[in-house]
Amino acid sequence: MHIQFLGTGAGVPAKSRNVSSLVLKLLDEINEVWMFDCGEGTQQQILETTIRPRKITNIFITHLHGDHMFGLPGFLSSRSFQGGENDPLTIYGPKGIKDFIHTSLRVSRSRLSYPLNIVELDPKGGVIEKSNGWIIRYLPLDHGILSFGYRVEEPDAVGELQMDKLTTYQIPNGPIFGKLKNKETVELEDGTVLCGEDFVGEDRPGRIVTVLGDTRKCANIATLAKDANVLVHESTFSKKETKMAHDYFHSTNVQAAQVAKAQGVKQLYLTHISARYLGKMAKQLEAEARAVFPNTRLVFDFDEFKI
């Protein structure tokens, strides 16, 4: 599992940062890529990566401000010509996302060559269950406009059969390995009895990735961030601008760090960075947050991290 940031800026595109979009690469797990937000120019950003548009099977829109969704019409249209002719795509978002997409495609007379499903989510929050066992929980945040935070939960992985422990028994390929994998007790031809539980590693808890839309401090953030392996949190304002952040329904770098520390998050990524924070000022945003939560990183366009 990898996370890659396609746009990390706030409000409008800048020379050093495009507007909001990121992808969760689940290629090794389920051979899919999930996108969160699709700001203007996202399809151009994708061209600078190894991402194949047809692998993007789900798009989760946090809210309907332009810097988080104006890239959808272009991306959806281009996907038809980039190897996505028969691969379905589902878009999740607040009420209004369906009207925006249908109107854009109708007015521009764009025809998609693949099945498109648009799901408008319950404003009170809920759960999205995928057929492969993955779960996405979502809750409303506090941004003046309905803005969601998403919590992606990977299913637990069953412990692997530890083959190195079985080499001395010279077991031929066959159903015995399957029984041991299922933690059954088996008897070999020479009378040796093996207990499967002795040869299966521990189950691995599924990883949790939380991606928040724009928001000021609110209770639902803690619920979504609890024990997450990764928390992606906006950092539009600095610590000294706390009042301004509240007035404009945004968060500060330190507020994000406080959430990460309180909720047992393993890694915090700060995004949605204003164009006014360049060079040393951007590093100062990161330093202030790290003073509260050391495992903090302020991200840039195209940064990619393994989870």
Residues labelled as active-site residues:
67
Q: ∠209-121-105 over CA atoms, to 5°?
A: 105
As a whole number of angstroms, the distance between CA 207 and CA 251 comes to 25
As a whole number of angstroms, the distance between CA 78 and CA 81 comes to 5
C-beta of residue 61 within 8 angstroms of C-beta of residue 92: yes
Strand, helix or coil at 230?
strand
Strand, helix or coil at 20?
coil
As a whole number of angstroms, the distance between CA 173 and CA 116 comes to 44
Q: How many CB atoms lie within 10 A of CB 138?
A: 25
29: which 2 tokens? 């797990």
User: Which among 145, 82, 80 is positioned nearest to 114, based on CA atoms?
Assistant: 80
